[in-house]
Amino acid sequence: MSSVNPSKVDATPSSRSAVSERGVGAASTNRPFVVATFAITADGKVTTKNFGPVDFTSREDKLHLFRQRASADAVLIGHTSLERDNVRLGLPADLQELRSKRGQSRSPIRVIISNKGRIDERLKIFQSDISPIIVFSTKRMPQKNRKALQTKATLHLTDAKHVDLAVMLKTLRNQYKVGTLACEGGPTLFRALLEEDLIDQLNLTIAPHMFGGATAPTLTGLNNKFLPASVQCSLINMRTIENECFLIYRIKHQRGRRK
């Protein structure tokens, strides 16, 4: 990015949510408005060398992630991030309260995606009943996993070898009334959504670290191929808090239209 319009730069801490940043048009297509939230290092990495839980950002960034989650109807996570970070995808009490006041459920629906379906029911997410859990996977899911998961989650298993992301989003919109979907990664899932032009907004925190490492994933993962088409973003908000920079990009859709 060569320059930033100063009128768009907001250097003061703000609690603006993804909802307030959202453009018109979410209701005009047959899928939710998809907002991805990531933190990267100054050299563009999303995780440490051991692919450990994301712990290189400040408390403010963690609050930022919670606020994005709180503003959505559902939160989506890829199987690897779920396993590695072992997250419940819950919210602090004050944000649950705020959702209640807005007439929403106290916590967003939690959505997991996996092609293979080898999802361990002992993960923390399945030990918490704060909101429904929906799993999109394939009939490759082993019977033992199906049996263990079906009492804890709603399973959508396709006959195809891979989950169709556009169909998944359509199902979330039509069957679960999801207007805004918060995608919390990881990079493999984000790239797959980008390739199909299914991301509307990217919230990006740049953290004051550098990890290096050719085998450390960037925002679009470890895939060394170019994206099918370069993705254009427009910066709609930027703020800095101490050493971190919080950016909000609107993703420009190919041919100018949301699918």
Q: Is the Cβ of residue 91 or residue 183 nearer to ligand NAP in the bound state?
A: 183
Cβ closer to ligand NAP: 43 or 97? 43
- Residue among 29, 58, 80, 128 that touches ligand NAP (CB under 6 A): 80
Choices 74-82, 92-100, 151-159, 229-237; region in contact with ligand NAP by CB under 6 A: 74-82
Residue 221 is a binding residue for ligand NAP (CB under 6 A): yes
Given the structure tokens 């919390």, which residue do they identify?
184
Nearest to 77 by CA among 114, 109, 112, 52: 112
Write down the least CB distance from residue 2 to ligand NAP, Å: 25
CB of 9 to ligand NAP, least distance (A): 23
Give the integer Cα–Cα distance in Å for 255 and 259.
Answer: 10
Among positions 87-146, residues that touch ligand NAP (CB under 6 A) are 113-116, 118
- Stretch near ligand NAP under the rule CB under 6 A, chosen from 11-19, 151-159, 183-191, 231-239: 183-191
Measure the CA dihedral 134/140/145/151, to 10°.
Answer: 40
In single-letter form, the type of residue at position 8 comes to K
203 binds ligand NAP (CB under 6 A): no
State which of residues 18, 34, 54, 134 lies at the interface with ligand NAP (CB under 6 A). 54
Indicate which single residue of 141, 185, 197, 202 sits in contact with ligand NAP (rule: CB under 6 A).
185
Closer CB to ligand NAP, 5 or 50, in the complex: 50
Q: Is the Cβ–Cβ distance between 236 and 227 less than 8 Å?
A: no
The residues facing 75 across adjacent strands are: 110, 182
Type of residue at 103: G
Smallest distance from the beta carbon of 222 to ligand NAP, in angstroms? Answer: 7
* Tokens describing residue 27: 């209701």
Query: Which of residues 84, 152, 170, 239 is near ligand NAP by CB under 6 A?
Result: 84
Among the listed residues 10, 13, 16, 51, the single contact to ligand NAP using CB under 6 A? 51
Q: Residue 158, interface with ligand NAP (CB under 6 A)?
A: no
Please say which residue, 27 or 160, places its beta carbon nearer to ligand NAP. 160
Residue count, binding to ligand NAP (CB under 6 A): 30
User: Which residues contribute to the site for ligand NAP (CB under 6 A)?
Assistant: 38-39, 46-47, 51, 53-54, 78-81, 84-85, 113-116, 118, 162-163, 165, 184-189, 192, 217, 221
